């Protein structure tokens, strides 16, 4: 049976997509150097996710019109973008996951398998997903950090993404997570799908997010509610 929260993109999300003028870029200081986020690098996805959650928790609907630079709503979304990176721990986690293998790494000794490094599949399916599902079972949407690239270059941090999980369905060992993707706007049909039976091996996270990269794994981000600005 599907599990879903009271959040629904077509009802609760911003009416516009995550596409901003290039001059609206923001520079975020990280332990690995400055991270430049702007239209070319995915925009303000984390800020939109956190802001939508703020409006949902406050029982308010986000304003319909896209804010311009200098608008209080725009400044609020930018502030929530910075909050979504949870400096320095959040950025460190993205960078760590970018440098991990997709599946477990290990060797066989005396007939037993010895795991040297857990991959993103294990960390997503066995560690992160049970915690995320627990909140969704309570009707609480969950902000997710989505890792899309394998890289040792800190500049590639901007290729990762953030979405909001608001429901899921389980069919045997296949899980379909329903998500709000700021890049897709108010669409209710956006999902991430994966299986849970082989987490020690590279696992496909099939999705229809508006991304130019595959999804390698995801984790819950450190969200704390904030009061949205008044109209």
Kindly state the greatest CA–CA separation across the chain. 67
Listed in sequence order, the residues at least 6 apart from 207 whose beta carbon sits closer than 8 Å to its beta carbon are 190, 191, 192, 193, 215
Measure the CA–CA gap between 20 and 29, rounded to whole angstroms. Answer: 20
The residue behind tokens 């991430």 is 192
- Helix (H, G, I), strand (E, B), or coil: what is residue 147? strand
Provide the residue-wise pLDDT of the chain in tens; the chain has 231 residues: 688 889 999 999 999 999 887 654 566 677 777 766 554 345 799 999 999 999 999 999 999 999 988 899 999 999 999 999 998 999 999 999 999 999 999 878 777 877 789 999 999 999 999 999 999 999 999 999 999 999 999 989 989 999 999 999 999 999 999 999 999 999 999 999 999 999 999 999 999 999 989 999 999 999 999 999 986
* Cβ neighbours around 7 below 10 Å, total: 22
* Cβ neighbours around 174 below 10 Å, total: 13
Measure the CA–CA gap between 32 and 222, rounded to whole angstroms. Answer: 20
Q: What is the dihedral of CA 40, 44, 46, 48, to 10 degrees?
A: -140
Listed residue (7, 2, 1) closest to 141, CA to CA: 7
Cis, peptide link before residue 88, omega less than 30° from 0: yes
Listed residue (69, 50, 46, 47) closest to 58, CA to CA: 50
Task: State the pTM of this model.
Answer: 0.91
Please give the structure tokens belonging to residue 1.
């049976």
Measure the CA–CA gap between 151 and 179, rounded to whole angstroms. Answer: 25
């Amino acid at each position: 049976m599907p599990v879903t929260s009271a959040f629904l993109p077509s009802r609760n999300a911003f009416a516009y997509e995550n596409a901003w003028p290039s001059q609206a870029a923001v520079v975020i200081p990280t332990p690995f150097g400055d991270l430049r986020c702007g239209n070319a690098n995915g925009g303000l996805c984390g800020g939109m996710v956190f802001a939508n959650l703020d409006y949902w928790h406050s029982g308010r609907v986000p304003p319909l019109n896209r804010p311009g630079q200098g608008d209080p709503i725009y400044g609020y979304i930018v502030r929530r973008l910075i909050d979504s990176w949870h400096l320095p721990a959040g950025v460190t986690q993205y960078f760590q996951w970018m440098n991990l293998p997709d599946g477990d790494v290990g060797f066989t000794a005396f007939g037993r398998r010895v795991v040297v490094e857990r991959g993103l599949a294990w960390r997503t399916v066995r560690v992160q997903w049970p915690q995320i599902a627990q909140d969704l079972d309570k009707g609480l949407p969950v902000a997710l950090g989505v890792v899309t690239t394998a890289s040792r270059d800190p500049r590639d941090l901007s290729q990762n993404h953030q979405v909001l999980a608001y429901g899921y369905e389980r069919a045997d060992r296949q899980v379909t997570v329903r998500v709000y993707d700021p890049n897709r706007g108010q669409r209710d049909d956006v999902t991430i799908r994966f299986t849970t039976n082989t987490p020690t091996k590279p696992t496909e996270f099939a999705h229809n997010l508006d991304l130019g990269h595959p999804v390698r794994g995801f984790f819950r981000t450190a969200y704390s509610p904030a009061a949205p600005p008044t109209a």
